[in-house]
Structure 1
């Protein structure tokens, strides 16, 4: 089977430009970068860019998003990849521990798991690093005093918020729903739990696909925004009981809880677009595989529900998953590269612990991307 990796890597023009610069500047010379991030073709472009900066890379994946072809490709390029695809939490934790065994100078984290585990087994040479997600920022904020190192939260960059979270996540979740179910959203009642940047994108993309979209959001200001954006902001019971499709996208645990399940209509489809596979809690419901990417959930009241991607990130966990668009990840991973460069070179200090990307980096990445795209005209 032909590989998609050359196409994807070749489409990441901004990372290629940064990589050419890193060939000269070598900001990560003699350093180890440890990462636990979704291992799919676009990640290849990021990790090989960091390699061009002189880094040795030790990489693990996330739960149920590691693609074997990507692992094989990275290993062939000299990247040390720990483990492979797994849905087992214990195996995943063991892989994180193996990344930390290398005592990386920099951590590129995705969900706060590496930094949190580092605090249980600290070592001297860690300079700091980056965190990719909202869920990771939520996990690490209470640990600032213990970390006492620069940790730049890429997800809090305005570029990441509008280019990837709102626009790209919405598209990739809709695309995954279409690919896995082969059902149309036209006229379907869709309920989105969460109206942050990602939730806004999911809600808008399903609306543009002619679904009837309602939003459940606990934050009053975000609920107002959803209302003013033209979505039905119903009470929880009404929104769930009418839904044919339910999408969770919050970064929190148990967003859809066992007590909610009897409210759902028979044959409702459930999908999670949040980082961790614990937004949908099925309790003791019986779950059985139905077809590739779809499980049947049997409730005690006789209803059947359908869970996509095992409750993992539906845009990365489903069959033939593609994830977010190349362009959005080129931007997001350019932010990662520049933030790690800032930590490695001492451009940011311990006071930048679990904080957003510095404005100067946002502006540099934005300027470079627009210049690169304009040069094609």
Structure 2
């Protein structure tokens, strides 16, 4: 007998930790009677996490992130009687309405990615919000000034060592490298690549391009981090030199305005700009588009590439409108199943801990508890042996 299986099934069956967690949650029901509001990239790997939470008794109210929602994922989630307020959009206003719709459901727990949901809850607090998780460094940076308004446990997944090396270093680096190939169909051999940011994501990105025979330079404003890059064998030129020499510029810092229109005189003819940070503000795409020196823009709509032609005859290319390149392209890749299995299991276990009220409000915006890291690592190693 033959049947057509789906990518969602392939991913779900590949997430062995989440499958084991879902089996446990079916028995323990840690989220019985609770609503979980989520704002994360809606793609097949997310389904594995959301179905694990549903198995634990949660009612789910979901939206996505800018420009990464996959319609097939939304369709599947709705077929599972999960409420989804999301469309594939690059419009911040439309996206914000979806976020507000999730918070309007007064969820007991929030699973956030970039601080969007918690920021809304901080400005319009409601009774019954227990806390939740934040996925990213960008979100932690955004939420820290709101600590007094939030005053609830928010566990930052990105501060977990497992998240740092498994997902950020290995998976983000690999997926950004492969996304460059998917977008451009160009080689990496001999290309001069400049990576902005040498955190975990930057380390993985720099290593993957170097392993693919690129000449890689690193720019980081922290001299200690730049020294680490130097000792790892990467060149660490001054910023202007690094931009001017680059065939490919990759931003993975978590901060805005890393490459701006002020850098236009430096950008090499034919250079490719791509972003791997959570928010689409590391490359100031709007300012580039509106710059008086830009005389024509060619948009390759099917490939999500823009070519900006300058008055002096140079041209350069922007991938995915400055959104996360590994989730913004025509063939969105995302991170590997194994890395997301680890990261999403951390999410599920942290939400379980908050739901059971085993983390106090005084623990607002803190890393994943060490014992959860150890539990997840041990379970993964047991399966790998």
Q: When the two structures are superposed, what TM-score results if normalisation uses the length of structure 2?
A: 0.95
Map residues 242-281 of structure 1 onto 2, 5 A cutoff. Answer: 242-281=245-284
Give the corresponding residue for 1:232: 235
Map residues 66-145 of structure 1 onto 2, 5 A cutoff. Answer: 66-145=69-148
Q: Does the 8 A contact of 2:69 with 2:86 survive in 1?
A: no
| Structure 2 spans left out of the alignment, 5+ residues | none
After superposition, the CA RMSD in angstroms is 1.1
Give the corresponding residue for 1:346: 357
Q: Distance in 1 between matches of 2:135 and 2:311?
A: 39
2:166 maps to 1:163: yes
Q: Distance in 1 between matches of 2:127 and 2:313?
A: 56
Q: Does the 8 A contact of 1:193 with 1:217 survive in 2?
A: yes
Q: Distance in 1 between matches of 2:21 and 2:311?
A: 55
Q: Distance in 1 between matches of 2:260 and 2:150?
A: 33
**Partner of 2:69: helix, strand, or coil?**
coil
Q: Distance in 2 between matches of 1:75 and 1:146?
A: 33
Q: What do the CA deviations read for 1:229-268 (whole angstroms, capped 9, x no partner)? A: 0000000111000000000001101111111122011110
Q: Distance in 1 between matches of 2:225 and 2:87?
A: 38
**Partner of 1:155: helix, strand, or coil?**
helix
Q: What do the CA deviations read for 1:128-157 (whole angstroms, capped 9, x no partner)? A: 000000100100111112111000000000
**Which stretch of the first structure deviates more once superposed, 280-289 or 102-111?**
280-289
**Partner of 2:249: helix, strand, or coil?**
strand
The number of residue pairs the alignment matches comes to: 374
Q: Distance in 2 between matches of 1:57 and 1:262?
A: 49
**Partner of 2:233: helix, strand, or coil?**
coil
| Structure 1 spans left out of the alignment, 5+ residues | none
Q: Distance in 1 between matches of 2:204 and 2:213?
A: 14
Q: Distance in 1 between matches of 2:27 and 2:263?
A: 56
Map residues 264-343 of structure 1 onto 2, 5 A cutoff. Answer: 264-282=267-285, 283=287, 284-285=290-291, 286=294, 287-291=297-301, 292-343=303-354
Q: Distance in 2 between matches of 1:68 and 1:259?
A: 37
Q: What do the CA deviations read for 1:172-211 (whole angstroms, capped 9, x no partner)? A: 0011011110101001000001111100100000000000
Give, in angstroms, the shift of residue 88 of structure 1.
0.2
Q: Distance in 2 between matches of 1:20 and 1:334?
A: 13
